[in-house]
Amino acid sequence: MIEIIALLAIFCGLFFFLSGSIGLLRLPDIFSRLHALAKADNVGLALVTLGIIMLEPDLFNDIKLVIIWLLVMAASAISSHLVARHALRENRDND
Amino acid sequence: MTDTSSTSIVTVALLVALNLLMLSLLIGLVRAWIGPKIEDRYSAILLLGTGGVAILFILAILLPLAALYDVALVLALLAIVGTVALTRSEKSDD
């Protein structure tokens, strides 16, 4: 039973990953692409991590998974900020 | 009997999930290839980092090999380090 819930969470996360990468391919400019990327990074990886935590029996590895997910959340926020500021500064220099 | 059948269902579903993740990363690689500006390539690199972490999680369940969680940790760290280095070095040139 818990495996079915875990697989459901993993496939919901995969939906977010796929829609995030399709948005990265199809949206018109860099800021909307970063918006699509944030969905794949945060919600997609959160749901995949939730499913993997249900499948993983070892408690130590569960804690490690949560720590990796928090690190990826912080990394995604910081690097999206850096890329967006870089693009904004370049736009301002071109004007 | 039921235990082995449910385990094989989980294995097959995880393999399908792995292939869908590879498809997602392939779409991200197309953006990294055609991206007209360098920021598009940065954002594709971010997607590759996150998708690589998810692939390593699923592989760690499938194989099963718990050391892959540490590889995922290193990959998550290297993605942010690469992005910070690229944006910062671009800034210090001018």
Residue pair A47/A13 in contact by the 8 Å Cβ criterion: yes
**Rounded mean pLDDT, B2-8:** 63
Looking at chain A, the whole-number percentage of residues with pLDDT higher than 70 is 100
Interface of B with A (CB under 8 A): 6, 9-10, 13-14, 17, 20-21, 23-25, 27-28, 30-31, 37, 39-40, 42-44, 46-47, 49-51, 53-54, 57-58, 60-61, 66, 69, 72-73, 76-77, 79-80, 83-84, 87, 90-91
Helix ranges (H only) for B1-94 are: 2-34, 38-62, 68-93
The share of chain B scoring above pLDDT 90, in percent, equals 43
Other CB atoms within a 10 A radius of the CB of residue A18 amount to 17
> What is the number of domains present in chain A?
1
Mind listing the pLDDT tens digit for each residue in B45-82?
A: 889 989 999 999 999 999 888 899 999 999 988 888 88
- Which residue of B lies nearest to A30 if distances are taken between CA atoms? B40
Best residue of A10, A62, A66, A93 to probe chain B, by most B CBs closer than 10 Å: A10
Q: Of B54, B68, B4, whose CA–CA distance to A51 is shortest?
A: B54
Q: Which domain holds residue A71?
A: 2-94
If you average pLDDT over residues A19-33, what whole number do you get? 90
* pLDDT tens string A52-77: 999 988 899 999 999 999 999 998 99
Summarize the confidence of residues B10-26 as an average pLDDT. 93
On chain B, the residues whose CB falls within 8 A of the CB of A22 are: 27
The overall average pLDDT reported for chain A is 89
Extents of the domains making up chain B: 2-93
Residues of B in Cβ contact (< 8 Å) with A29: none
Tokens found for residue B58: 């699923």
For the record, the structure tokens of B29 come out as 């690689």
Give the integer Cα–Cα distance in Å for A72 and B18.
19
Give me the pLDDT at residue B35, please.
Answer: 76
Residue B3 confidence class, pLDDT cut points 50, 70, 90: low
